[in-house]
Structure 1
Amino acid sequence: MRNILPILAVVFAMIIAWYAGAFMMNKKWTYDQANRAGVELTLSEVFADTMAQPRPVLPAPHQVAVNFWETTVEKKITSRRSLVFHGWITLKATLTGFILGTIIGTLLAVGIVYSRVMDMSILPWAIISQTVPIVAIAPMIVVLSNSVGIEGHLVPKTIISAYLSFFPVLVSMIKGLRSPDRMQLDLLRTWGAGKSQTFWKLRLPGSMPFFFAAVKIAIAASLVGAIVGELPMSGSGGLGARMLVGSQYGEPLLIWSALAAAALLAAVLIFIVGTIQTITLKRMGMAQ
């Protein structure tokens, strides 16, 4: 209970700030309409109107919650108006890109740790690659995928997600694989252990806390990559496409409901990774 109270306090403060922001940003439209009609409004009437506008600048939390309920529970999951339908499309690209990015990041980290040539050549380019804005790369990847005859929308989104997710895994795994100190390495050499035995018995187990810390970041980055990848392909569906449709048609509630769905999806994915982390580290004797 003590652990939940601080979280609830922060959530409560955020909701209050959100309502205050909705009032401040939506009241201009209310006053404009009142002035045109020649009507004087009380503060309570202004507040009530700002909380119920059909197309507010900033929707109130309860408006987002109602729209979220309507587009999840009250819609068939096969409907293109359902956030479950669009969330599943985004989830497929997220997981595919995350798995690919994790594999690439891990393999590159092993290569960099064991090869000075890769350390001097690959790592700098990996760092430089992250300075390029993903919003600039996403359309290029989509165009290149189409030009080489790759059909469908999953591959471009997977590439974008993998691009964002491999880097945190790469950096953390390098740190984790190099975490054993000199005394531990010398001890294994004294016992006659080779490089492969040192890797499996010492370096890899020692890197697990670093790996799972990176994976939590990577899964969230992969979700962001999938959403960004959906923006140039609004017809493909997905939460990113849903946000784009809401922006094009002036429907802020669609945008915020899709954002809420993305945040909920990210929380679930991170919770799953955290559960796997706890189970794995307990089995390895690294956590109580």
Structure 2
Amino acid sequence: MTRFAPILSVLAVLLAVWYGASIWLNSTWTLDQAERAGTTPTVTQIIADTMAQDRPLLPPPHQVAAELWEVTAQKKVTSKRSLIYHGAITLKATMAGFALGIVLGVGLAVAIVMSPAMNLTVMPWAIISQTIPVVALAPMIVVLSNSMGIEDRLVPKAIISAYLSFFPVLVSMVKGLRSPGAMQLDLLRTYGASKAQTFWKLRMPASLPYFFASLKIAVAASLVGAIVGELPTGATQGLGARMLIGSQFGEPMIMWTALFAASILAAGLIWAVGLIEAGLRRRLGGVA
């Protein structure tokens, strides 16, 4: 229990701040209604009303939790109101973009490390590419996809996800592939190892810790890309679409539950990457 005390303490503080902010923001409606009715509510009445409003400015934690339970556990998976249904659609685009980002990031990293020309030409452009706001890039990708006759909405979402996820993989893999020291490289040269043997026997194993560290960042970035990609496509399905619908129709509960569903999905994906890393370390004889 002691090991979880710091986490529980931070969680308690966050919940207290959240409840306090909910009372403060939601009380505006309560006081306005009381003024129109010519009454003066007590502090207890104000707090009670701010905890149970239909459309609060800031839903309190218990309202979000109750709504999240309703649209996940109490809805059929095939229902259009189920966040599991919408989460699966977003997850599909996330994994497609994540896989594409890994291939692109690792491929460019290998080329940059093995070729000085690639290092001088590609790496600066890869860095510059991350200065473009994804909210500005997403509509452009959607328009280009439509102009090329690509009707599958998964494609532009996967491209946007890959755009956000490839860069952490690229930077970390370049660092990892260059992590072996001069003495290690000289030792392999002494044994007559070729460049390919040096790459597979030394550089690639040395890059694995960097690679898995980058995957935890990349998979979360890929999820963000999939959600952002759903906004300009006019999608009606997916977690991003649920957030947009909640915003357009003034339904804060829809927005908040979709937001928390996305957070839970991101945590699950990062946890899955950690499990794969631990399993690979055990297989290679390391410490999990």
Aligned to 2:283: 283
Give the Å deviation of 1:236.
Answer: 4.2
Aligned to 2:25: 25
1:153-232, aligned counterparts within 5 Å? 153-232=153-232
1:99 aligns with 2:62: no
Q: Separation in 2 of the partners of 1:219 and 1:58?
A: 29
Amino acid at match of 1:56: P
Contact 2:177 2:207 in 1 (8 A): yes
Q: Separation in 2 of the partners of 1:134 and 1:263?
A: 19
Q: Separation in 2 of the partners of 1:224 and 1:252?
A: 20
1:148-185 deviation digits (Å, cap 9, x = unpaired):
00012100000000000000000000000000000000
Give the Å deviation of 1:234.
Answer: 3.5
Q: Separation in 1 of the partners of 2:29 and 2:130?
A: 41
1:42 aligns with 2:42: yes
Q: Separation in 1 of the partners of 2:174 and 2:112?
A: 7
Give the Å deviation of 1:233.
Answer: 2.4
Aligned to 1:263: 263
1:55-75 deviation digits (Å, cap 9, x = unpaired):
011000111111111111111
* Matched residue SS, 1:168: helix
1:254 aligns with 2:249: no
1:118-177 deviation digits (Å, cap 9, x = unpaired):
000000000000000000000111111011000121000000000000000000000000
Contact 2:236 2:242 in 1 (8 A): no
Give the Å deviation of 1:277.
Answer: 1.1
Contact 1:281 1:287 in 2 (8 A): yes
Give the Å deviation of 1:190.
Answer: 0.6
Aligned to 1:110: 110
Q: Separation in 2 of the partners of 1:286 and 1:107?
A: 26
Q: Separation in 1 of the partners of 2:187 and 2:101?
A: 34
Aligned to 1:69: 69
Contact 1:169 1:215 in 2 (8 A): yes
Amino acid at match of 1:209: P
Structure 1 residues 89, 3: CA separation in 2 closer, same or farther (over 3 Å shift)?
same
Q: Separation in 2 of the partners of 1:85 and 1:36?
A: 43
Q: Which runs of 5+ in 2 are unaligned?
A: none
Aligned to 1:237: 237
Q: Which runs of 5+ in 1 are unaligned?
A: none
Contact 2:161 2:222 in 1 (8 A): yes
Contact 1:233 1:241 in 2 (8 A): no
Aligned to 2:83: 83
* Matched residue SS, 1:271: helix
Contact 1:101 1:166 in 2 (8 A): yes
RMSD: 1.0
Give the Å deviation of 1:43.
Answer: 0.5
Amino acid at match of 2:125: W
Give the Å deviation of 1:287.
Answer: 2.4
Amino acid at match of 2:73: V
1:232-260 deviation digits (Å, cap 9, x = unpaired):
12334100000000000000000000001
Q: Separation in 2 of the partners of 1:13 and 1:201?
A: 49
Amino acid at match of 1:12: A
Q: Separation in 1 of the partners of 2:61 and 2:8?
A: 16
* Matched residue SS, 1:72: coil
Aligned to 1:51: 51
Q: Separation in 2 of the partners of 1:85 and 1:271?
A: 21
Contact 1:109 1:173 in 2 (8 A): yes
Give the Å deviation of 1:209.
Answer: 0.5
* Matched residue SS, 1:234: coil
Q: Separation in 2 of the partners of 1:29 and 1:160?
A: 39
Q: Separation in 1 of the partners of 2:235 and 2:270?
A: 28
| Overall identity of the aligned pairs, in % | 62
Q: Separation in 1 of the partners of 2:261 and 2:233?
A: 19
Q: Separation in 1 of the partners of 2:3 and 2:175?
A: 31
